[in-house]
Amino acid sequence: MTQPSLTLSSTVERWPIAGSFGISRGVKTEAVVVVAELADGKARGRGECVPYLRYGETVESVTAQIEGLRPQIEAGLDRRTLQSAMPPGAARNALDCAFWDLEAKRSGRPVHELAGIATPAALTTAFTISLAAPADMAKAAANAASRALLKIKLGADGDPDRIAAVRNAAPKATLIVDANEGWTEGNLGSNLAACAQAGVVLIEQPLPAGKDEALARIERTIPVCADESMHDRASLPALAGKYEAVNIKLDKTGGLTEALATAAEAERKKFTIMVGCMVATSLAMAPAVLLAQTARFVDLDGPLLLSKDRPGGMRYQGSLVYPPAAALWG
């Protein structure tokens, strides 16, 4: 049966962050997202992405990529042909997730069923402590000390003091650290020792992507997770010997379709799976919750970092994030 032709729209949205969000590359006070919507007159599907300058993306470039595909979408391009029509990245993520949502709305079947995923359950998500002075990070950690899993943003001089401050403020929480490429070979040893002393269970991207060969030479007791070094299936071969885990994000893989394939391939290669996100609303988290069902680590706290989420957003209760309602996505 031939499906009705589609119309495409894209919208830029700005969502204030509660306070600020700091990592090694800087501080931001709002999440700027692009939402793609596909509609056929009866059903509509939406997908949200976050353009990321680290990967050469801007709001303007991502919007132009989405709009540039309008003729092909209106001529019948679908989710499967999208994969070769556009490179991985934020723009394809928005469109891929919009196609999944549209397929679910058209068929009356949830995305997890269409994708062959078991009925999703609530997951324990990390909560991020932004990079700041040790005293400020300790205060933030104390306020979040009841959460099961905290992710500490690092990547500046004095990180051992930050690690110790957070651990003292949240003695019972499981800790992940994320240096966002901010460490060097020179301070790698001291920072790893501080992580070990604090009982950190995972270290994300300590060294810059492409300049991380030292990870293959050092002895360590804590697994290291590739983030900026990890995009999609094509990234995996180069990670062996340097990383034990991979952080899969839909904005990097270019959508749920490739993310599912990447996770399957990573598991075959014996990598531990983490599913992460950019700071965004529940519309961006919804497909990632499906991907994260079999992940060892889940970092989908984007909406918790905002001043407010979009209406009808996902349910968060303590450290748990629940699967999305169909009205939101999927």
Q: Mapping DSSP to helix (H, G, I), strand (E, B) and coil, where does residue 149 land?
A: strand
**Of 28, 139, 151, 153, catalytic:** 153
Catalytic, 139? Answer no
Distances (CA, A) of 142 to 59, 65, 197: 35, 43, 19
Q: Mapping DSSP to helix (H, G, I), strand (E, B) and coil, where does residue 5 land?
A: coil
Alpha carbons 243 and 240: distance in angstroms, whole number: 6
Q: Mapping DSSP to helix (H, G, I), strand (E, B) and coil, where does residue 62 land?
A: helix
Distances (CA, A) of 319 to 27, 176, 300, 304: 25, 15, 10, 10
**Of 249, 252, 269, 308, catalytic:** 249
Give every CB contact of residue 221 below 8 A, 6+ residues apart in sequence: 196
Q: Mapping DSSP to helix (H, G, I), strand (E, B) and coil, where does residue 101 land?
A: helix
Give the strand order in the sheet containing 123-124.
123-124, 320-321, 316-317
Catalytic, 153? Answer yes
Contact predicate 145/136, CB 8 Å: no
Cβ atoms within 10 Å of 194's Cβ, excluding its own: 20
Q: What angle do CA 12, 14, 20 make, to 5 degrees?
A: 145
Tokens of 86: 């556009």
Active site residues: 153, 249
